[in-house]
């Protein structure tokens, strides 16, 4: 059992507490979902459970926290390791070995687990999380999603009583996310494991939760209750809940199955809607080719990861690149920007090879936000980061700060980038890359750690950029983002293009990549709640 008693947390150089007067009890054997806006304090709440706050992060903690009778004030994280397994937002930051199998065994070795028990648990975890094929792979060769599953597995092998996960599905493809969450639910139900996780992609998680903790932010009181009750009042909600609000349903569906059962009447009504289902900004196949990828093949050592990729990306397109973890999405983006050099084939951006461009020329041609957005940040404060970007890209002073205010206006200029939440750090990195307004934008998992409101701000910025003729490529597992934004979708599998076409056509034909609204209202060609609202409006308009 986890017990918070009147807990308040204030970080150094901050006057207002990030969490104030939190009193909370989390019983054993529950899957508890923590939700709230970016920067509201969800990560702080999770890190209090195993003492990372304040023993590692610093700050002042008032009140008391007990985990199975142990006080986190007197027991640092190492003395809670047998009780609490923790996986942060950047799982690779916690790796200490070289291979998957060694990483799964490391925590058990540190705790003195017998070798025969270690062997059995490693095999169980490999099977549980679908990691068997990766067991001898080097950790540095893993994709972001593969690394995330390994980190979760490493925490599970010690058989903790409590598992704390910060954004555990943010880098996972939809199928892998479902597998991991279903595995966690089995451990909760069958073995009594307590799981506390924070997640922004509620469409994936909320149906599995036993209770939800809403963290409003700015020190406001937490709201705790059953998922349906909290979702009815939460400012952050998955698409099926937004659908219920738009349709004025009395119930609150938490899954696609629940929504389909409630949508029979709505589906029949919308069959007669006359609204056009085409995106506002359609595929620009008749405009100039900005990126030309010809017969590109890329390898890591002896392992070939991209096989004869041929693509033409046009001016004004917004392209979603989707596929399973390890399909080659990040490698494709890094090759387009010149970080990876193909051993065969070529990449041209506006006629130039990006690998040969000077940094000054490259920033105007093409910009990349990598999965680890923090790699782009090095200044001592958000304000200095913005001013340095303006200087490096010869921008009008204040340009980068203005871009950041469009995406995430709550970020304080004086904050050190390292002290930002993962979502806020990503928002800053996005502003740094977007401000110079390059002709081509490559965004690798651009909504990881972002709440729904921040994601909507980003969508507005990207749509405006596309209307100015910018070409935008999103490597993403966020099917809702693809449905809302992309005009074209490319699906990769094992380093090959297996589908390429208009987004509505590609994702509605795929059980894996279809968004919640498309599944709930199938066979209607509706992808988003905005589509549904437009269709409902057309029914009320006179013919």
| CATH number for 474 | 3.40.50.300
90, part of any domain = yes
324, part of any domain = yes
Statement to judge: residues 160 and 33 lie in one domain: yes
505, part of any domain = no
Could you tell me the pTM of the whole model? 0.89
Spell out the alpha helix ranges (H) of 192-238. 202-205, 227-233
- The structural domain count of the chain equals 3
Q: Considering only CA atoms, which of 374, 368, 370, 384 is closest in space to residue 420? A: 374
User: Residue 401: its pLDDT value, please?
Assistant: 97
Q: Considering only CA atoms, which of 422, 426, 444 is closest in space to residue 328? A: 444
Statement to judge: residues 451 and 317 lie in one domain: yes
350, part of any domain = yes
Statement to judge: residues 371 and 303 lie in one domain: yes
Statement to judge: residues 93 and 163 lie in one domain: yes
Task: Report the alpha-carbon distance of residue 226 to residue 11 in Å, rounded.
Answer: 30
Question: b/e per residue, 256-294, with b = 16+ CB within 10 A?
Answer: bebbbebbeebbeebeebebeeebeeebbeeeeebbebe
Statement to judge: residues 194 and 256 lie in one domain: no
499, part of any domain = no
- Residues near 225 by beta carbon (within 8 Å), at least 6 away in sequence: 211, 212
Sort 253 into a burial class: Cβ within 10 Å, 0-12 / 13-18 / 19+: buried
Give the Cβ contact number of residue 356 at 10 Å.
Answer: 9
Statement to judge: residues 273 and 227 lie in one domain: no
Q: Which two tokens stand for residue 379?
A: 């200044």
What's the domain range around 542? 238-277+517-543
Statement to judge: residues 107 and 163 lie in one domain: yes
Task: Report the alpha-carbon distance of residue 113 to residue 150 in Å, rounded.
Answer: 19
Rg (CA), the chain: 23
User: Residue 275: its pLDDT value, please?
Assistant: 52
Statement to judge: residues 258 and 192 lie in one domain: no
DSSP state of 385: H
Nearest 10 degrees: CA dihedral of 247, 248, 250, 254? 50
Task: Report the alpha-carbon distance of residue 232 to residue 251 in Å, rounded.
Answer: 9
Statement to judge: residues 382 and 481 lie in one domain: yes
User: Residue 285: its pLDDT value, please?
Assistant: 59
Q: Considering only CA atoms, which of 88, 93, 86, 170 is closest in space to residue 476? A: 170
Statement to judge: residues 230 and 330 lie in one domain: no
User: Residue 281: its pLDDT value, please?
Assistant: 43
Q: Which two tokens stand for residue 470?
A: 């910018």
Give the Cβ contact number of residue 232 at 10 Å.
Answer: 14
User: What are the residue ranges in the chain where pLDDT is below 50?
Assistant: 277-283, 543
Task: Report the alpha-carbon distance of residue 47 to residue 51 in Å, rounded.
Answer: 6
User: Residue 280: its pLDDT value, please?
Assistant: 42
Give the Cβ contact number of residue 190 at 10 Å.
Answer: 9
Statement to judge: residues 463 and 532 lie in one domain: no
93, part of any domain = yes
162, part of any domain = yes
Task: Report the alpha-carbon distance of residue 322 to residue 493 in Å, rounded.
Answer: 9
What beta strand segments (E) does 157-288 contain? 162-166, 194-198, 211-214, 223-225
User: Residue 130: its pLDDT value, please?
Assistant: 87
506, part of any domain = no
Statement to judge: residues 435 and 467 lie in one domain: yes
């Amino acid at each position: 059992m986890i017990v918070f008693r009147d807990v308040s947390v204030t970080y150094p150089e901050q006057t207002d507490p990030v969490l104030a007067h939190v009193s909370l009890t989390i019983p054993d054997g529950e899957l508890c979902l923590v939700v709230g806006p970016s920067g509201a304090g969800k990560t702080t709440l999770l890190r209090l459970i195993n003492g990372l706050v304040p023993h590692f992060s610093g700050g002042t903690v008032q009140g008391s926290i007990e985990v199975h009778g142990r006080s986190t004030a007197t027991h640092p994280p190492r003395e809670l390791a047998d009780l609490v397994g923790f996986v942060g937002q950047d799982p690779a930051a916690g790796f200490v070995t070289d291979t998957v199998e060694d990483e799964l065994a490391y925590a058990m070795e540190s705790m003195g687990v017998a070798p025969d028990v270690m062997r059995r648990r490693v095999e169980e975890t490999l099977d549980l999380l679908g990691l068997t094929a990766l067991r001898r792979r080097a950790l540095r060769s893993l994709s972001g999603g593969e690394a995330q599953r390994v980190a979760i597995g490493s925490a599970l092998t010690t058989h903790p009583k409590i598992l704390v996960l910060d954004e555990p599905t943010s880098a996972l493809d939809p199928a892998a996310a479902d597998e991991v969450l279903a595995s966690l639910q089995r451990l909760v139900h069958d073995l009594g494991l307590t799981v506390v996780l924070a997640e922004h992609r509620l469409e994936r998680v909320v149906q599995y939760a036993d209770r939800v903790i809403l963290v409003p932010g700015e020190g406001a009181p937490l709201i705790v209750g059953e998922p349906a009750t909290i979702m009815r009042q939460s400012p952050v909600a998955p698409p099926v809940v937004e659908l219920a609000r738009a349709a004025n349903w009395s119930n609150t569906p938490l899954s696609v199955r629940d929504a389909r059962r409630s949508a029979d009447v709505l589906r029949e009504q919308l069959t007669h809607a006359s609204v056009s289902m085409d995106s506002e900004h359609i595929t620009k196949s008749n405009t100039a080719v900005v990126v030309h990828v010809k017969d590109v093949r890329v390898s890591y050592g002896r392992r070939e990861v991209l096989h004869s990729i041929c693509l033409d990306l046009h001016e004004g397109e917004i392209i979603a690149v989707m596929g399973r973890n390890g399909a080659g999405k990040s490698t494709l983006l890094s090759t387009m920007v010149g970080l990876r050099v193909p051993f065969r084939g070529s990449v041209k951006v506006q006629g130039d090879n990006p690998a040969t461009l000077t940094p000054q020329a490259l920033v105007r041609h093409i910009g990349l936000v990598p999965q680890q957005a923090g790699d782009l940040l090095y200044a001592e404060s958000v304000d200095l980061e913005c001013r340095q970007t303006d200087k490096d890209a010869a921008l009008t002073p204040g340009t980068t700060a203005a871009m950041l205010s469009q995406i995430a206006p709550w970020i304080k200029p004086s904050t050190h980038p390292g002290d930002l939440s993962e979502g806020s750090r990503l928002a800053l990195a996005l502003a740094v890359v977007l401000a110079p307004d390059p002709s081509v934008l490559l965004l690798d998992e651009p909504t990881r750690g972002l709440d729904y409101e921040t994601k909507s701000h980003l969508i507005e910025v990207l749509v405006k950029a596309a209307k100015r003729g910018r070409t935008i490529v999103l490597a993403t597992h966020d099917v809702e983002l693809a449905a809302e934004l992309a005009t074209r979708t490319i699906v990769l599998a094992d380093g090959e293009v297996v589908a390429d076409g208009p987004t509505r056509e590609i994702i509605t034909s795929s059980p894996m990549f279809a968004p919640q609204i498309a599944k709930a209202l199938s066979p209607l060609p509706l992808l988003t709640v905005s589509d549904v609202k437009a269709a409902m409006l057309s029914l009320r308009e006179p013919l």
